[in-house]
Chains A and B, each alone.
Chain A
Amino acid sequence: METAFTPWQSLGGGVLIGTASVLLMLAVGRIMGATGILAGIFAPASVADMSWRLALLLGMLTGPAVYWLATGGMPEIAVPVSMPMLLIGGFIVGVGVTYGSGCTSGHGVCGMARLSPRSIAATITFMIATGLTVFVVRHVIGG
């Protein structure tokens, strides 16, 4: 399934993601990592720790609504994957980000921006693993 090349829109979205990461560091001194923020909600260090995570997560959920207010349409979300594969993939993602201590936002953006050797190694690893997986699913199994 083809998707349109959207360099300006994607750059603008990336600038917003970066802006939020910088503001989170400025406000509470934390890495904007989706994995850590989500996992911390279920094992909070304190009530205050729980509340900033929930406030941030609730804000994130408004993303599609803000997009709709700004453009009048819902964002395009096309899932070219069957429900069983989505569930298997989701479980594998959960295990991987827990052992890997982070994901695209935490390692790929925040950690890389700090030039953290662990984040650089993690990002290179998951980018290669994702590329190989897509190749196998689309061109070896699917081909």
Chain B
Amino acid sequence: MHLIVLFLIGVIFGTGIVVSGMANPAKVINFFDVAGTWDPSLIFVMGGALIVTAVGYRIVFGRGRPIFEGKFSLPTARNLDARLIGGSAVFGIGWGISGFCPGGALPALGTGRIDVIAFVAAMLAGIFAAKYLQSLSRARAQAAQ
């Protein structure tokens, strides 16, 4: 039951991504190409998603707890550090080069297109490489103590 609900939430998300144009790199890159073939459509994706989420979260948080878990698992970090800003800048460079963000690419995998599969494989390689580097620096920090 629980997993069927999660599957259906994934269906809604994946359909929304595909309908919105976020899975289409030509459209994503054009959104950022203000100096060229500008297509402002994606501001409507962001606007629609943000309004629904901001209002919906207020209602959900008002319940006190989620349905299938004992408590909400929300990010607790508060600090604006170099890792957050630097990582986000690096992500933006990759998004600008490829036109795919993770949430746009995952539903697009469902088309079976080889270029989407290649992008996701390269992205996973980047995630694993970064996680490995993070574990090395954690180990170094521990050794220094």
Contact = CB atoms under 8 A, between A and B. Distances in A.
Interface of A: 1-35, 38-39, 42-43, 51-52, 55-67, 74-81, 83, 85-101, 103-105, 107-114, 116-118, 121-123, 125-135, 137-139
5 contacts: A27-B66, A51-B3, A95-B87, A95-B127, A97-B127
A59 B13 contact: yes
A38 B125 CA distance: 12
Contacts of A1: 26, 30, 37
Given A19-B12, A94-B122, 9 more contacts: A13-B17, A13-B18, A14-B45, A21-B57, A28-B68, A88-B94, A89-B98, A100-B90, A109-B53
Nearest to A121: B80
- Chain A binding surface, main DSSP class: helix
A85 B8 CA distance: 34
Contacts of B11: 59-60, 62-63, 66
Interface hub of A14, A81, A127, A131 (most chain B Cβ within 10 A): A14
Interface string B1-20: 01111111111111111111
Contact of B90 (A20, A83, A88, A96): A96
Nearest to A23: B9
Given A20-B16, A58-B7, A134 B49 contact: no
B131 to A, nearest CB: 6
A47 B26 CA distance: 38
A98 B134 contact: yes
B74 A31 contact: yes
Contact of A61 (B65, B96, B107, B126): B107
Contacts of B2: 27, 52
Nearest to B126: A94
Given A29-B65, A91-B123, A133 B7 contact: no
Query: What are the 5 closest A-B residue pairs judged by CB atoms, nearest first?
Result: A59-B10, A94-B126, A13-B20, A129-B92, A63-B14
Contact of A130 (B22, B68, B96, B134): B96
B53 A89 contact: no
Contacts of B122: 86-91, 94
